[in-house]
A and B are shown apart, each in its own frame.
Chain A
Amino acid sequence: KNEVEQSPQNLTAQEGEFITINCSYSVGISALHWLQQHPGGGIVSLFMLSSGKKKHGRLIATINIQEKHSSLHITASHPRDSAVYICAVRYNQFYFGTGTSLTVIP
């Protein structure tokens, strides 16, 4: 079984701030996913990573395979970024972190 830990659990930021969410996992994986879930809403897939770094708009995701660690960064945060961000790793099946609840205040 793969243990997935995210930090922080909750995060409040002022609009415009740079945000980092961290994810650590315990067993070697084939891929890591970052997902976004708005309150009462569905899941949106943001990134799939197996190495290195990916960027999409204001979002950047990095992964360090040797350290079993990934980070999701949000630059110039905006209130519409308020959501729960979930890290998921793929190792035979998917294992999910409990999520980071982000609130961006105008």
Chain B
Amino acid sequence: DGGITQSPKYLFRKEGQNVTLSCEQNLNHDAMYWYRQDPGQGLRLIYYSQIVNDFQKGDIAEGYSVSREKKESFPLTVTSAQKNPTAFYLCASSTGQPMNTEAFFGQGTRLTVV
């Protein structure tokens, strides 16, 4: 079955360490997205990619980096420059066009930095 997989579901890291969150899809979707959720707030866009080898900053990209070397994969690295990395991270994917066709969401990764 096709789908989008985020791993791990829960992740703990020490302050100052970089950490990479995985997002893989086997849906042949062109577009992939990373969002962050903080308590009491809506999900906010970190980065998105509409095509392989291309990605764009979202609203809160500072302290994060991404790569899109393969269509199936869009890993997010939370760097030590991110001041408040503890949050819930959500990956999504969608077909590029038309816009009202399918979109899928990962289950999310809850990152805790101690």
Contacts and interface: CB of A to CB of B under 8 A. Distances in A.
A62 B102 CA distance: 17
Contact of B105 (A43, A91, A95): A43
Given A30-B98, A98-B42, A93 B107 contact: no
Interface in B68-111: 90, 92, 94, 98-108, 110
Contacts of B90: 43
Contacts of A53: none
Contact of B33 (A4, A40, A42, A93): A93
A42 B9 contact: yes
Contacts, number: 58
B42 to A, nearest CB: 4
A41 B90 CA distance: 12
Contacts of B45: 93-94
B42 A90 contact: no
Nearest to B104: A45
B43 interface: yes
B100 A31 contact: yes
Contacts of B110: 40
Contacts of A41: 107
A30 B100 contact: yes
A99 B42 contact: yes
Interface of B: 6, 9, 33, 35, 40-43, 45, 48, 58, 90, 92, 94, 98-108, 110
4 smallest beta-carbon distances between A and B, as pairs: A42-B107, A30-B99, A96-B43, A50-B100
